[in-house]
Amino acid sequence: MSLSIGQTAPDFTSKDQNGNPVKLSDYRGKKVVLYFYPKDSTPGCTAQACNLRDNHQALIDAGYVVLGISPDSEKRHQNFISKNELPFTLISDEDKSVHELYGTWQLKKFMGREYMGTVRTTFIIDENGTIENIIEKVKTKDHTAQIL
């Protein structure tokens, strides 16, 4: 499924790093940065998370809530958060159901082999739950600038 700007962001319920349910619709009234990334503690994903961490106050000041999502377990998310002092929620999507909703679980090619994996994508969702922007060419070290 391919989403586009102006569409309603698909609602979902999944678990955060502490096992608490997270529903996208609970964030109505706020702007949401929903970023899909492949794997905790890998170089690109760490650079992206740390860029969002270092600029978190600017995002809050602009009215955004940051939600990261990957197929990692809650435990891996906890380790990633404490290691990098991340001030935002990470969502565990081990069954890839949210990835499927957003079209971010796709066939990828790397060094000649094909495999299914997360396509690094960020969805900017407005206060009404509408997709305002989709960032597909994510610059991991300068991601906040792309959002703001």
What are the residue numbers of the active site? Answer: 45
Total Cβ atoms within 10 A of residue 101: 17
Total Cβ atoms within 10 A of residue 117: 18
What phi and psi, each to the nearest 5 degrees, are found at residue 91? -105, 135
Structure token digits, residue 137: 């060419």
**How many CA atoms are closer than 13 Å to the CA of 11, on its beta-carbon side?**
8
Q: Check: CB of residue 115 under 8 Å from CB of residue 107.
A: yes
